Structure formats: C-alpha cells, structure tokens
Amino acid sequence: MEATVESCLQTVISQEYKNVEHLFVDNCSSDGTVALIRKYQQKHPHIRLLTGKDQGIYDAINKGMDHSFGDWLFFLGADDTFCHDHLLSDLVAEGWFDQETVVYGNVLIKGDAPWRKTVPFMTDPLLWRNCCKRTSVIRLSFIPQV
C-alpha cells in the first residue's frame, strides 16, 4: 500500500475543491503507510487516519463511514486517483450535489487488473449487477436507509 498511497494523497490534495475530509482506514499495515500518512497530516488538516484490525475491505468501509463527518462519501482505494484536479469542483459547480442522493460516474482502469478480464463491463451497472464503489459518490445520510 505504501507504494501507491502517496499518489492517492496527492490527487486529493491537488483538488481545486478544498472542502474535503480524506479519511484513511489502515488495517495495521506493517510497511511505511502510516508514517507517510502522518507526515502528510502535519501539513494537511483534512487528512485523518483510523488504524486497527478489521475484517476486510467492507468492514473497513463501514468503519470509515461511521467516522466520517462530511455530507458525501467518495471511496478511493490506496491505489486510486482522481482523473483531474477539478473533478470535485466541476461536480459541485454543475449542481450534482444539490438534489441527488447518489452520483455515479465512469472509471478508467490503468494497468492489468485481473478481475477486469472476468467481469464484463455493464452499461447499466446499477440495474444489472452492481456498481464500482470507486466511482460512486453517496450522500452520507442515505447510508442508513440502505
């Protein structure tokens, strides 16, 4: 995780829209991930870190949601980045967060993701199968309803 988390940190820090909370949920990693996040926390107060043993990715996601203060959730993995520095400000300016409960977009997969070979791309992922959590922005108040 340490090898990719810095890119994730940088992509959130470089967003033009600054009203963000960047919450990391770390499963007791033994590499330099925690030290790297703590280094960034010294300069960027929007970065928060939860550490402790969890039961896998969905347990970590639930812990993160329980400790979030924002109105919206955007899930990024340690190896994920935004496509450009004005993504969040564009979504805000276009009014996507005014009335919507879930905002869903596209994902660009770089590299050779093994699961990509076995999971076909669905044009209607919300109706047919499921959606990619990394392209879903969800209103936090909606979570208890589902």
Residue 47's Cβ-count burial label (10 Å; 0-12, 13-18, 19+) is: buried
pLDDT single digits (tens) 28-65 = 999 999 999 999 999 999 999 999 998 988 898 889 98
Sorted by where each begins, the domain ranges of the chain are 2-141
Question: What pLDDT shows up at residue 19?
Answer: 93
pLDDT given at position 50: 94
Q: What pLDDT score does 127 carry?
A: 52
Q: For residue range 85-141, what is the model confidence (pLDDT) as tens digits?
A: 999 999 999 998 898 888 777 666 666 766 555 545 455 555 555 555 566 788 888
What pLDDT is recorded for position 48? 96
What's the CATH fold of domain 2-141?
Spore Coat Polysaccharide Biosynthesis Protein SpsA; Chain A (3.90.550)
* CB neighbourhood size of 117 (10 A): 8
How open is the CA angle 76-41-79, to the nearest 5 degrees?
25
